[in-house]
Amino acid sequence: MSSLQYPLESRPNSVAHLFLSRAEATPGREAYRYPVAVDGGEEWRSLTWAQTAERVKAIAAGLLALGVRGEERVAISSSTRLEWILADMGVMCAGAAATAVYPSTNGDETAYILADSDSRAVFVENAEQLAKVAAHKGELPGLRHAILFDPAPDAAEIEGLDVLTLAELESRGIEHLVKHPDAVEATVQGIAPEQLATLIYTSGTTGRPKGVRLVHDCWSYQAVAQEATGLVLADDVQFLWLPLSHVFGKALISGQVQSGHVMAVDGRIDRIITNLPVVRPTIMASAPRIFEKVYNGIASRARAEGGAKYKIFLWAAKVARDYARTGQEQLVATGRRTVPLSLTVQHAVADKLVYGKIRAAFGGSLRGSASGSAALAPDIGYFFAGAGVNVLEGYGLTETSAGCTVNPADDSRVGTVGKPLPGTEVRIAEDGEILLRGPGVMRGYHNLPDKTAEVLDSDGWFRTGDIGEIDKDGYVRITDRKKDLFKTSGGKYVAPTEIEGRFKAVCPFVSNILVIGNDRNYCTALIALDESVIMPWAASNGLAGRTYAEVVASSEVHALIEGFVQRVNAGLQRWQTLKKFAVLPRDLDVEHGELTPSLKVKRPFVEREYADIVAAMYEGSREA
C-alpha cells in the first residue's frame, strides 16, 4: 500500500510532514523524472523518494544554516524544473515560506515582489534571473542570499548579496546536519497548520500584484482532497509542464506527495509535444490552450494531407463531438449514457481511423487529464471526450490554493467545472457571484487588510469575482467573470468570454481573441492567429514565401477569418455580434506582457496596446 491514506479531518499539519512520511513509506520508489543534457542530446533521469528526501533535507538544513527562520520568505525565480520542487520542499521543511516569481516577470516587478514579501533569500534559476535581482539589489536591503540552480561562474560580485550554488547550499546543509542530525525533523515537527507556507502574487489584470497568503494547512488540504477525488493514483505517471509559480502547478505537487506517484517534470512548453510520447503519462494537467493547440495541430496536419484525409478528419471530429454530447445529454436526462446505434458504429470506425492517433499524440497511456485556470471551449471538450481523451475540467483560484471543483472521472460533464472537492463549499450569491469556503482558501492578501476585507467575509466565504450557477446534480458552471461582463451603450449585457469561446470553437486558426464593446454601441474583436496553423494554410493558398506579418495582413487571410466571424455571428443575439474585427500583426505572448504567465489574456493591457486599431474599428461608430 503506497497511499498515506490520511482522512480529510486528521490531515497532517503540513506537506513537509507528508513529505517525510512519504519518503519513509516508499523510499525506493521513483518520485521524480527530469531531463538532463547529455552530449548533444537529452535523457530522462530519476530520483527515488529516499534520494529526494536526502536532497530536500540538505537544502532545508542549508537554509537553517544561513539563518533562515520560521515563516521568513525565501523566493524562487525559476521555470518549472526538478530544482524548483526540491527548493520549495526545502523551504517548507525549514519552516520558512516560499514566494513564487515567474521567470518571465520583468526586473521591476520581480523587485516589487521580493521587497513586498520581504524575502531574505532567493533561489534563481540561472545568470539571467540573478541579473534581474542584482540590478535592483539597492532596493532590497533585506535580501541576503541568492542560490543559483545553474552555476554562473562569470557572474559579477553583487554588493550585499551572498551568491552560492544549489550544490554549495546542499554541502552547507550536510555539514549542518553532522552537528545537528535532527535539525530538519525537529523543525518540521514544530510547523503549525496556520503557519505561512507560500506567498503567491496574483497576476491581476490591473495594478500591482497582490501577495496571496497560503498557510501549510492549505496545501495539506489540497493533498488529501485531491486524492479523495480518486483522480490521482499511486501508480500514475504524471507529466508536469505547468508553471510552478502558479497555484495550479504548485498544488499538483501536494497531491503527488500524498499519493506517491511519479512526476515527470519539464516546463518547456515547446517540448510538450515531443515529451509526451517519451514520458507516456497516465495523467497530466494543463491550461485549455494546450488542448486547443493539440486540436489545431491535428486539424492542420489533416488539412495539409488534403482531400479525402481532411474530409475523414472533419467527419471523425464531428462524430466525436456528437457521440460525447449525445452520451452526456442522455446521462443527464435518463441516468444512462446511451447513444444511438448508428452513431456508435460510426464512432467505432472513426476510432480505428483517427482517434487512436490522437491518443498516441498524448503518449498512448493517458487515463485522464485535468484542464483548469481558464474556460475550456465545450467543442474542444466534447471532441477530446469523444476521441477517448478524458479531459476533466476543474476550477480554482490563486486565493483558494488551486483546486475547488473538478469533474469526476466516471461522470465528467463538458461545459461544467465539476463538483466541489470534499471539504470545499460552493454558494452562489444573489448577483450570481460564486462564493467559496474551505481549508484551501487564503488567509488574506499580504499587508492589504482592506483588499482582503473586500473578498473575504467573517464567516470565511471568499468572493471569487466569477459568475456561475450550480445545477440540480451539483455541477458548477461558470458563465462569466464578474469584471469581464460588460454592457454596450445600448444597455445590453455581453459576456465576451462566451463569444470568444464560440469563435475558438469554429476557427482553427485563432490563437487568441479579445471581444471588445464596453460602453460602445457594437462589439468588435482583436484576433491573433496561430503561426503554426496559418502558415501552412498560407503556403497552399498562394502566399508561399511571405512572412507571418505579411500573411496576417493579407486580404486572403482577412476573407478567411471573415467567414468564421460570420458563422459565429449567425448564432448570436444581434447586440452580441462582431460588427468589425482586426487581425493582429503578431500573436499575443507573455514576454510582451499581453498574457499572464498562466496564459490568460490581460484585457486592459491589450486594449491599450492596440488602442489605434480599436479606435479605427469604432470610427464613425455613433452612426453605425
Give the footprint of ligand AMP on this chain (CB under 6 A): 202-203, 247, 372-375, 393, 395, 397-398, 417, 464-466, 478, 481, 598
B/e letters for 4-41, b = 16+ CB within 10 Å, e = fewer, are bebeeeebbbbbbbbbbebbeebeebbbbbbbeeeeee
DSSP 346: H
CB of 104 to ligand AMP, least distance (A): 14
Toward ligand AMP, which CB reaches closer, 292 or 466? 466
Toward ligand AMP, which CB reaches closer, 478 or 510? 478
CB of 248 to ligand AMP, least distance (A): 6
CB nearest ligand AMP: which residue?
Answer: 398
CB of 618 to ligand AMP, least distance (A): 27
CB of 493 to ligand AMP, least distance (A): 17
Beta strands of 241-310 (E only): which ranges? 262-265, 283-286
B/e letters for 245-258, b = 16+ CB within 10 Å, e = fewer, are bbbbbbbbbbbbbb
Number of DSSP helices (H) and strands (E) in the chain, helices first: 22, 25
In the numeric block, the cell 487529464 is attached to 369
Toward ligand AMP, which CB reaches closer, 395 or 564? 395
CB of 395 to ligand AMP, least distance (A): 4
Toward ligand AMP, which CB reaches closer, 369 or 398? 398
Toward ligand AMP, which CB reaches closer, 61 or 375? 375
The values of phi and psi at residue 313, to 5°, are -60, -45
Residue 245 to residue 308: CA distance in whole angstroms? 45
Cell of 408: 469526476
CB of 578 to ligand AMP, least distance (A): 21
CB of 569 to ligand AMP, least distance (A): 23
CB of 376 to ligand AMP, least distance (A): 6
Judging by DSSP bridges, how do beta strands 196-201 and 211-215 pair with one another? Answer: antiparallel
Burial-class residue 186 by CB neighbours within 10 Å (0-12, 13-18, 19+). exposed
Toward ligand AMP, which CB reaches closer, 184 or 240? 240
Which residues, in sequence order, are CB contacts of 545 under 8 Å at separation 6+? Answer: none
B/e letters for 556-595, b = 16+ CB within 10 Å, e = fewer, are ebeebbeebbeebbeeeeebbbbbbbbbbeebbebeebbb
Please state the three-class secondary structure of 568-589 as a single string: HHHCCCHHHCEEEEEECCCCCC
CB of 617 to ligand AMP, least distance (A): 26
CB of 109 to ligand AMP, least distance (A): 15
Toward ligand AMP, which CB reaches closer, 18 or 113? 113
Toward ligand AMP, which CB reaches closer, 425 or 619? 425
Residue 529 to residue 552: CA distance in whole angstroms? 8
Toward ligand AMP, which CB reaches closer, 16 or 434? 434
Toward ligand AMP, which CB reaches closer, 102 or 355? 102
